[in-house]
A and B are shown apart, each in its own frame.
Chain A
Amino acid sequence: AQSVTQLGSHVSVSEGALVLLRCNYSSSVPPYLFWYVQYPNQGLQLLLKYTSAATLVKGINGFEAEFKKSETSFHLTKPSAHMSDAAEYFCAVSVGGTSYGKLTFGQGTILTVHP
């Protein structure tokens, strides 16, 4: 069984500041890890994914995440926040293989960016 915990349901940063959204996972097998973003009135969109290759994963819009097995974490970061980054972010895990799309999601983190 898998589970995902996102620390902080709301995160607020100033424009230009570092963005850090925290995600910890639990999985009985090597995980596949994902970050999805949901902009207002839009469907979820894949930001980046870890599938057992490089532990530092780069995604769209300047976001990146690092898989740390020892900490069971997959935190999402961006060096400098833009107003357009305001959205809800979801961390998710799957076991891969034929069940790769059967995702277990965290509860989401709403990111607010202040001018």
Chain B
Amino acid sequence: GAGVSQSPSNKVTEKGKDVELRCDPISGHTALYWYRQRLGQGLEFLIYFQGNSAPDKSGLPSDRFSAERTGESVSTLTIQRTQQEDSAVYLCASSSGQNTGELFFGEGSRLTVL
């Protein structure tokens, strides 16, 4: 597709369950980012992948959160043993990897933990 694609767009789960969120970046983009937006708050950086380099995981809030990326394609964000405070919109963005600062964002996956 032409833009960043995320799925599912909405996910409702019960506390304690695991969830997987998927991001399909723009073709050819080497950099991929995950952000989280909780209600009434700004976006929080979670994790960053750049090519084959080790990911920058400095924003992951706990060890229940993990993410993988296969080469320069799809990424999956996994949240284990979900908690109510994990409820948020999870946004994925990709960029060409050049130092332009322009990130192209997907529409997000809205996660609700009951």
Contacts and interface: CB of A to CB of B under 8 A. Distances in A.
A20 to B, nearest CB: 19
B107 A108 contact: no
A55 B91 CA distance: 30
On chain A, which size bracket covers the interface? 20 to 34
B1 interface: no
B4 A32 contact: no
A42 B43 contact: no
A27 interface: no
A34 B42 contact: no
Interface in B7-46: 31, 33, 35, 40-45
Interface in A1-58: 4, 32, 34, 36, 41-46, 49, 51
Given A43-B3, A43-B107, A45-B105, A96 B42 contact: no
A105 B107 contact: no
